[in-house]
Structure 1
Amino acid sequence: METGKERFHSISSQSCFLHLDHCYNLTIVPVYVDDILVVGNDVSQVSHFKSVISNHFKTKDLGPLKYFIGLEVVRSPSGIFLNQQKYAPDILDDSGQLGSHPAPFPMEQNLKLNDTDGDLLPDPTPYRQLVGRLIYLTITRPDIVFAMNILSQFMHAPRIPHMTAATRALRYIKGTLGQGIFFSSSCDLHVNAYIDSNWANCPTTRRSTTGFFITLGSSPIS
């Protein structure tokens, strides 16, 4: 997308455009169908982009971000809270687990899932859809990332134990709908990384499994 002598270009995604000028003012424009976010570190450049785009397309400025493709943004003087409290109940409802009893954690401790135990699911589609939707939930739920990493390994041929584990993850989500990620406005900008590994832990490949957690100050980013 070109605006005069300036150019917005995607470097790694066909739905995310970036512009960096010679003063290192950055504008980022994620696009999803007809929904667009405009963020940047220079207000005048953001306003310029919105002006240019409105001259070429019929647009409506909804103001500060509150909700975007299942992601809710709540601002306060102490920081920004991201959550998916509207998206998660939809998963529970579509899966018939809206009235289920909450589970205290997303996956049984020491559970070893593999691709041979248990009968194959007659129809793998519900499992694939469920795990895919739960993976999207990990945007604001790092507490279920490990479970989703395990469950996503069996998308090609899911079995009954895999669906049982996925259902337990749903029951955990039922009891933690208010969970999300908080980005403090007062934290420092130091990057901290934590990593752990379990030697030869994978029951299928016997490879080691590794996990990591990265924060910017006190805010989780990966």
Structure 2
Amino acid sequence: MKELGQLKHFLGIELSYSQEGIFLHQQKYFRDLLKNFGMLKCKTILMPIEPNSKICTHEGKDLEDAAMYQQLVGSLIYLTLTRSDISFAVGYGIMYKRGEDCTVVGYCDADYVGNHDTRRSTIGYVFMLGSGEISWCNKRQPTVSLSTTEVEYRAAALYHRLA
């Protein structure tokens, strides 16, 4: 192991140290993002999305390269780590992508006495947006259930709280 000094850059996040504290930013990541998608010379705006804007799924053109769109969306979501002011605009834009179903679907399930040592069951859920998973969990129930019905009821109650 080596001592490399103060951390300056990690996973696309840059750290700046000052008297007030440590500041996180992604200027280089954002500049590289603009460069990769051919938008280095784009105009700047004060607000990331126009107030009361409406987007319709039948407007615009179909995507030629879905992989490029997915890379852009993933990069923008990662950029929201330090730029929470664009979170709403990124989420709003993702909801109305062309050419793919944008409904949210959730599934939950449980096993009865999944762990024979503790007699506790395992529950799990997954939420999907279109064909991609956006949230999932798999964990042991905190209490011992006495029937398969009780296990499924607890899993459904957990799913209902999260939906």
Give the shorter-chain TM-score range: 0.5 to 0.7
State the match for 1:112 in structure 2: 54
| Distance of aligned partners of 1:97 and 1:119 in 2 relative to their CA distance in 1, 3 Å threshold | closer
Point out where structure 1 has 5 or more consecutive residues left out of the alignment: 1-58, 159-222
Aligned mates of 1:139, 1:98 — CA distance in 2:
21
> 2:85 aligned with 1:146, yes or no?
no
Structure 1 match to 2:68: 126
Moved over 6 A (4+): none
CA displacement, residues 126-178 of structure 1 (integer Å, 9 cap, x when unaligned): 222112101101110011000111122245737xxxxxxxxxxxxxxxxxxxx
SS of 2:74's equivalent?
Answer: helix
Secondary structure in 1 matching 2:27? coil
- Quick one: higher RCO (CA 8 Å, sep 6+), 1 or 2? 1
* CA distance in structure 1 between the aligned counterparts of 2:51 and 2:7, rounded to whole angstroms: 38
Distance in 2 (alpha carbons) for counterparts of 1:103 and 1:127: 22
Residue 74 of structure 1 aligns with which residue? 16
Q: For the residues of structure 1 that align with 2:55 and 2:2, how far apart are their CA atoms? A: 48
2:49 counterpart letter in structure 1 = M
Counterpart selection for 2:6 from 27, 52, 64: 64
| Identical pairs, percent | 44
Q: Larger radius of gyration, structure 1 or 2?
A: 2
**Aligned positions, number:** 100
Q: TM-score normalised to the size of structure 2?
A: 0.55
RMSD of aligned Cα (Å)? 1.9
